[in-house]
Chain A
Amino acid sequence: QVQLVQSGAEVKKPGASVKVSCKASGYTFTGYYMYWVRQAPGQGLEWMGWINPKNGDTEYAQKFQGRVTMTRDTSISTAYMELSRLTSDDTAMYYCARDYSPGGDYDILTGYFFPWGQGTLVTVSS
């Protein structure tokens, strides 16, 4: 079945960077966009960006531009999200989530997310 498995929890100091991985299985990795969404403790959901695993194209939310980098390794069906210059405000659960439908020949985004990874808790603390 379709599954996204994320890397384990991280504890980082302010100013550091974190790189979270998301390993996909059960479908053609390069056929679907991958999104990243975060959720601060007790708060709502916040879209961070997406990557097209087929060609590496990315789009980032304005809030994270300059601090986030999304990459992928198609040989191991894994997407990555790296966030730099961490502050305590970046303490959150980070999720990867697949686009609902395949992009097809024209790389069309569907825009809603299924399935989701289990989440990776990133804690930023001195």
Chain B
Amino acid sequence: DIQMTQSPSTLSASIGDRVTITCRASQTISRWLAWYQQKPGKAPNLLIYKASSLESGVPLRFSGSGSGTEFTLTISSLQPDDFATYYCQQYNRGYTFGQGTKLEIK
């Protein structure tokens, strides 16, 4: 099975900050990676697919990059609505999620 490891597990940041979350795969997954945002009590919501393709309606301050085994999700300027938990998911072989990164207000 492909394991996905996110870092950090928790991230404290302020409004307007630029933040980056990293996701590493235990083996190469090409660019078959998606990112989701989940708010408390809600289902996850797709942000990015194929490592860097922004889902329709997602603000342009979100971006994704990477290939192979290392990927990043960047939020260029944090807004109040962005404080949530973020998950990466590989779909190269099977479907595996990272353990999540909780983005908190500093």
Contact = CB atoms under 8 A, between A and B. Distances in A.
A9 interface: no
Contacts of A112: 34, 46, 49, 89, 91
A119 B45 CA distance: 13
B94 interface: yes
Interface in A54-78: 61
A61 B1 CA distance: 10
Interface residues of A, number: 19
A118 B43 CA distance: 6
A80 interface: no
Contact of A114 (B32, B55, B98, B100): B55
Contacts of B14: none
Contacts, number: 48
Q: Number of contact residues on B: which range applies?
A: 10 to 19
A113 B87 contact: no
A117 B43 contact: yes
A111 B91 contact: yes
B7 interface: no
- Of the listed residues A111, A112, A116, A118, the one surrounded by the most CB atoms of chain B closer than 10 A to its CB is A112
A12 B91 CA distance: 32
B6 to A, nearest CB: 9
B67 interface: no
Interface string B27-60: 0000010101000000111100100000100000
11 contacts: A44-B87, A44-B100, A45-B36, A45-B89, A47-B96, A47-B97, A100-B46, A112-B46, A112-B89, A113-B44, A118-B43
Given A47-B96, A112-B89, A113-B34, 20 more contacts: A35-B95, A44-B87, A45-B36, A45-B44, A45-B89, A45-B100, A46-B97, A47-B95, A47-B97, A61-B94, A95-B43, A97-B43, A110-B91, A111-B32, A111-B95, A112-B91, A113-B44, A113-B89, A114-B55, A116-B43
